[in-house]
Amino acid sequence: MIGSSPATDISVTSGSHTDTGLRRSVNEDALLADYPVFIVADGMGGHEAGDRAAAAVVEEFRALVGREDLRPEDVAATVERAHAAVSTIAAGTTRGAGSTLTGVVAVRQHDIPHWLVVNVGDSRVYRLLSERLEQLTIDHSVAQEMVDAGQLTREQMATYEGRNVITRAMGGEGSRADFWLLPIVTGERIVVCSDGLTGEITDEALRAGLMMGGSPAQTAHSLVGQALSHGGRDNISTIVLDVVAGGIHPRLEDTTGGFVHSESVTSTIEVATARSSRRRTTHG
């Protein structure tokens, strides 16, 4: 899939793959990879409510496909609509329903093309730029809170027994989204994925897979295949996209290898209505 914007000449190539995995009977993940929207939703809930919740999130974002003039507020409004749609589904169930939401949407800010990174829950967005992999989102999970408190290392997150407990979800009371605004950079490779990927492969394996030279579609397939070969205990969804042209050019300080967490290099912006309460939600 190639999307291009005449106004900005942003050119993006993307590929995606989703798999039920080896242990679950239903794929409750949903994804949308169609310029300017690249999102993953990981649904949770009994009796097929999880996949309906994730599908509802994707359906709200489908209205933004093909739009060249999006502003951060448009995305924030879509997040609100998606939250309302999932809440409606949840209200019709006995066990409740919810979904994560993560991804990037191309928007214009001060007439410069940016990615608006959005996150609710523990699905993730990563960026590979000049061999350096960084996680652009911060999980809303008990495990992340333990890492922040120094009670768990980042390496222990993937195997921690309470790793599925998230602290924010679409459709839940704690649904406030995090947003980050980043200039689109020519040459960057962005990954949007559910925890079925990051629960099975390490950041270093992810980085290596992204650097093998495959197309976005080949790379998305190959990463999902790696997660399956590591056990495939959850639904696995992966979007890979390359910015081929039209973005800014990377700064010199962005060109070192390795992995960094995003807090120091991105800034959080407030574009959504805050909801202060929190509820812990378990998903798989």
Under the rule (CB under 5 A), what is the footprint of Mn ion?
42, 194-196, 234
For the chain, helix, strand, coil in percent to 5 are 25, 35, 40
Nearest residue (CB) to Mn ion, 45 versus 196: 196
Residue among 195 and 203 whose Cβ is closer to Mn ion: 195
Q: What angle do CA 69, 71, 77 make, to 5 degrees?
A: 120
In the bound state with Mn ion, the residue whose beta carbon lies nearer, of 29 and 188, is: 29
Residue whose CB is less far from Mn ion, 226 or 266: 226
Nearer to Mn ion, 196 or 247 (CB): 196
> Rounded to the nearest whole angstrom, what is the least distance from the CB of residue 165 to Mn ion in the complex?
12
Q: Which is nearer to Mn ion, 188 or 195 (CB)?
A: 195
* Least distance between Mn ion and beta carbon 150 (Å): 26
Nearer to Mn ion, 47 or 251 (CB): 47
- SS3 for 5-37 is CCCCCCEEEEEEEEECCCCCCCCCEEEEEECCE
User: What residues contact residue 182 under an 8 Å CB cut-off, 6+ apart?
Assistant: 114, 115, 117, 127, 136, 266
Instruction: Quote the CA–CA distance of 84 and 253 in Å, as a whole number.
Output: 41
Q: In the bound complex, what is the minimum distance in angstroms from residue 123's beta carbon to Mn ion?
A: 7
Cα dihedral 226, 203, 158, 96 sign = negative
Instruction: Write down the least CB distance from residue 183 to Mn ion, Å.
Output: 30
Q: Specify burial of residue 279 (Cβ count, 10 A radius: 0-12, 13-18, 19+).
A: middle
HSE value, Cβ hemisphere, 13 Å, CA-based, for 32:
24
Instruction: Give me the least distance between CB of 215 and Mn ion, in Å please.
Output: 25
CB of 28 to Mn ion, least distance (A): 7
For the bound state, the minimum distance from the C-beta of residue 235 to Mn ion, rounded and expressed in Å, comes to 6
- CB burial of residue 64 (10 Å; 0-12, 13-18, 19+): buried
CA–CA gap between residue 175 and residue 168 (Å, rounded):
5
